[in-house]
Amino acid sequence: KAGVTQTPRYLIKTRGQQVTLSCSPISGHRSVSWYQQTPGQGLQFLFEYFSETQRNKGNFPGRFSGRQFSNSRSEMNVSTLELGDSALYLCASSSKVDWDQFFGPGTRLTVL
Amino acid sequence: QKEVEQNSGPLSVPEGAIASLNCTYSDRGSQSFFWYRQYSGKSPELIMSIYSNGDKEDGRFTAQLNKASQYVSLLIRDSQPSDSATYLCAVTLSELTGGGNKLTFGTGTQLKVEL
């Protein structure tokens, strides 16, 4: 079974721009969660989508948003990028509530 | 108090020894517990999940959960240099009464297995 895929793998943007990251979950998985990982804050939960609905949300500003499509693929968007948004953005998929989450390779975002 | 706490390490063990990694959590109602391994520059890889008190074994790995003490641990037997990585403890907090997959992570323990 193919794992979670994320595109692009690397991105360089400048402050004020916006960015869209994409995630394709493991086939059959309907839950997709997004996390941000930085050296200072560690791994932090952004949001989770299940059946095209946002089910949980972390403590991030409204500049961070996401959506899920009918095929369970998900995108997250960050608008008005700030230097502090530089991070590894990870997507994880799961087949059931409270079951194992499997991470994709991540998208490394650098904001200049 | 952090919701999930781990000793940052590094924890150094000789090759072939047992490595013991520990994690405590603050939410007594937490339901699900996970151990991830993360190599430098890579994404987290799920090693073990545990949902009920006691031990769960998978190959060289054993996860131990004690909900009364709010404590979860990971034992790695016959440690190998390839086990050198950061080990992340993750918990699903009880705030998710409606269900869902929100993991709260500890900061990770760096393990070094020395030849």
Q: What is the pLDDT, as a whole number, of residue B99?
A: 63
- Binning pLDDT at 50, 70 and 90, where does residue A99 land? confident
Put simply, the answer to whether B88 touches A102 (Cβ < 8 Å) is no
Task: Kindly list the residues from chain A whose CB atom is less than 8 angstroms away from the CB atom of residue B103.
Answer: 33, 35, 43, 45, 92, 101
Question: What mean pLDDT do residues A72-88 have?
Answer: 98
Residue holding tokens 């060289």?
B60
Least-confidence region, from A85-94, B27-36, B77-86: B27-36
E-strand spans in chain A? 5-7, 10-13, 19-24, 31-38, 42-50, 53-57, 64-68, 74-78, 87-94, 102-103, 107-111
Q: Average pLDDT for residues B10-22, to the nearest whole number? A: 97
pLDDT of residue A54: 92
Does the CB of A45 have a partner CB in chain B at under 8 Å? Answer: yes
Helix or strand or coil: residue A85?
Answer: helix
Describe the strand order of the beta sheet including A5-7 as a list of residue ranges. A5-7, A19-24, A74-78, A64-68
**A40 → chain B, closest CA residue:** B107
